[in-house]
Amino acid sequence: MKAAKNIFIMVFVLFFIMHCGDKVEKLINQLHKGENIAREEAAIALGKTGDKRAVEPLIAALKDDDMEVRRDVAEALGRIGDKRAVEPLIAALKDDDMEVRRNVAEALGRIGDKRAVEPLIAALKDDDDFRWSAAKAIEEIGKPAIESLIAALKDDNYIIRRYAAMVLGHIIGDKRAVEPLIAAMKDDNMEVRRDVAEALGRIGDKRAVEPLIVALKDDDMEVRRDVAEALGRIGDKRAVEPLIAALNNYALGDGLDEQESVMVVLGKIGDKRAIPALVRSLTKWFVNVRAGETLEKLAWHPQSMEDKVHLLIAKKDYNTLMQMWDRTKQVLLKDMESDKFSVVYYAVNAFIVLDRKEMTSKLIDILNKKEAESIADAKIIAGEYLNCGNFELRDAAKRFAKKHGYKIIPWADVPSRRWGSW
């Protein structure tokens, strides 16, 4: 019985092989002699069979007159994964059609042969839509591409330097890239520096901490933001004091995304030395919400009535603020007397969103006071009043504008801090 069963299995396998062989031969014949659609279907089917006999016919079909056939042929060669296809696919990286080039790059990534690395790096100069495919293919090839990518960090073309940094950051765990990337933090191109910072953060090697700390003073705001995020990924406490210093150096309205990134990073590192700077940031109107979230992440609790009110405003807890209105008002009136204009601006906007008519005269008074002290500051406040939806404040702003010869331009979009918007 067992012998008969084995014979049956052998016959079945032989039949299957012969049947598949016939099918492959028919598909190869169709690949060369069929109509366009038939050739496409043949290429797709041959790729799914994985049969090595299809490799040479598919390589020949990379020169098919029809773009869609060439596209499907490239994908089929990637599926089969035979290294005989590498050189022909490299040549096809110069195909006239971008969709074909994209499939060729993806096929080379699947095959994973080191010979494709240099041609793929050179192909990064191509159209934006294709670059991602080339970069992804290099990433799939992985560690065999490291040395070539390191060399590409010094390429004359900044686009190649950018993508080299990006791919190095995604081949995580290979420390050979760290020192070359650190050197590339001094690249003349800010986009390259941004991608280098991200790559160093992804790799997570602590050798990058001090160079990244230095780069927190980069001339470009977006570079500084990406540097802060890289330091957050690495999580080294050496970054805490420099990040705090960076947070303390922003003027009103400057670097809002950057400030929020720094706050998120400080919360991620989790060092309580950041708390005083974050508490001060509760009175920065544009970033106070993120400051409150970060403080709560650090398990901070208000130590005074001022802290409590500022945190409630950051959380937009209107009901609680109204339940304790007398204290809320007292804290914000004190803020309006601050020597720091950013704190005054914060209090003004807090009163606007809280919608208390009794505060209208106080808000007009602060405009008049600032007019006497600093026309520039008064102009900022008048801009808020003009567009806040309170008619008395709007009229006060118009009087100020007329007196000083300013043109009134209402905001195109309704801001979130209109009167009573909470």
At 282, list the tokens. 């509760």
Binning pLDDT at 50, 70 and 90, where does residue 421 land?
confident
Binning pLDDT at 50, 70 and 90, where does residue 249 land?
confident
Q: Return the C-alpha torsion angle 36, 38, 42, 48, nearest 10.
A: 110
Q: Return the C-alpha torsion angle 238, 243, 246, 248, nearest 10.
A: -110
The whole-model pTM stands at 0.83
Look at 159 and 14; give whichever has higher pLDDT: 159
Q: What is the pLDDT of residue 172?
A: 76
Q: What is the pLDDT of residues 174-220, one digit of tens each?
A: 899 999 999 999 999 999 999 999 999 999 999 999 999 999 999 99
Domain boundary among 141, 169, 190: 141
Integer-rounded Cα Rg, in Å, for the chain is 32
User: Which residues make Cβ contacts (< 8 Å) with residue 281, sequence separation at least 6?
Assistant: 247, 259, 263, 287, 288, 290, 291
Q: What is the pLDDT of residue 386?
A: 87
At 77, list the tokens. 């060669």
Whole-angstrom Cα distance, residue 304 to residue 321?
Answer: 15
Burial class for 297, CB neighbours closer than 10 Å (0-12, 13-18, 19+):
middle
Q: Which amino acid is at 189?
A: N
* Residues of the domain holding 82: 27-141
Return mean pLDDT, the chain: 91
Whole-angstrom Cα distance, residue 311 to residue 101?
Answer: 55
Concatenate the DSSP letters of all residues of 218-252 into one string: -S-HHHHHHHHHHHHHHT-GGGHHHHHHHHTTPPT
Domain boundary among 141, 157, 179: 141
Binning pLDDT at 50, 70 and 90, where does residue 90 land?
very high
At 290, list the tokens. 């993120």
Question: Would you say residue 137 lies in a domain?
Answer: yes
User: Which residues make Cβ contacts (< 8 Å) with residue 397, sequence separation at least 6?
Assistant: 367, 382, 383, 385, 386, 408
Q: What is the pLDDT of residue 11?
A: 37
Question: Would you say residue 7 lies in a domain?
Answer: no
Question: Would you say residue 46 lies in a domain?
Answer: yes
Number of C-beta neighbours around residue 164 at 10 A: 31
Q: In the predicted model, what is the mean pLDDT of residues 110-116?
A: 97
Binning pLDDT at 50, 70 and 90, where does residue 13 land?
very low
Binning pLDDT at 50, 70 and 90, where does residue 100 land?
very high
Q: What is the pLDDT of residue 250?
A: 85
Question: Would you say residue 104 lies in a domain?
Answer: yes
Question: Would you say residue 265 lies in a domain?
Answer: no
> Has residue 316 got a pLDDT over 60?
yes
Q: What is the pLDDT of residues 128-137, one digit of tens each?
A: 778 999 999 9
Question: Would you say residue 168 lies in a domain?
Answer: no
Q: Return the C-alpha torsion angle 88, 89, 92, 97, nearest 10.
A: 150
To the nearest whole percent, how much of the chain has pLDDT over 90?
82
Question: Would you say residue 151 lies in a domain?
Answer: no
Of 297, 218, 298, residue with least CA distance to 258: 218
Binning pLDDT at 50, 70 and 90, where does residue 112 land?
very high
Q: CA of 218: how far to CAs of 212, 225, 277, 360, in Å?
A: 10, 10, 21, 43
> Has residue 10 got a pLDDT over 50?
no
84 close to 56: Cβ distance less than 8 angstroms: yes
Question: Would you say residue 311 lies in a domain?
Answer: no
Quote the number of domains for the chain: 2
Of 389, 371, 391, residue with least CA distance to 380: 371
Q: In the predicted model, what is the mean pLDDT of residues 212-239?
A: 96
Q: What is the pLDDT of residues 348-393, one digit of tens each?
A: 999 999 989 999 999 999 999 999 999 999 999 999 998 888 999 9
User: Which residues make Cβ contacts (< 8 Å) with residue 166, sequence separation at least 6?
Assistant: 135, 195, 198, 199
At 333, list the tokens. 């009136």
Domain boundary among 141, 168, 194: 141
CATH number, domain at 56? 1.25.10.10
Whole-angstrom Cα distance, residue 417 to residue 371?
Answer: 22
Please report where in the chains the tokens 């409630």 appear, as a residue. 312
Whole-angstrom Cα distance, residue 221 to residue 138?
Answer: 30
Whole-angstrom Cα distance, residue 161 to residue 124?
Answer: 10
DSSP code of residue 270: T
> Has residue 417 got a pLDDT over 60?
no
Burial class for 188, CB neighbours closer than 10 Å (0-12, 13-18, 19+):
exposed
> Has residue 6 got a pLDDT over 70?
no
Q: In the predicted model, what is the mean pLDDT of residues 251-277?
A: 93
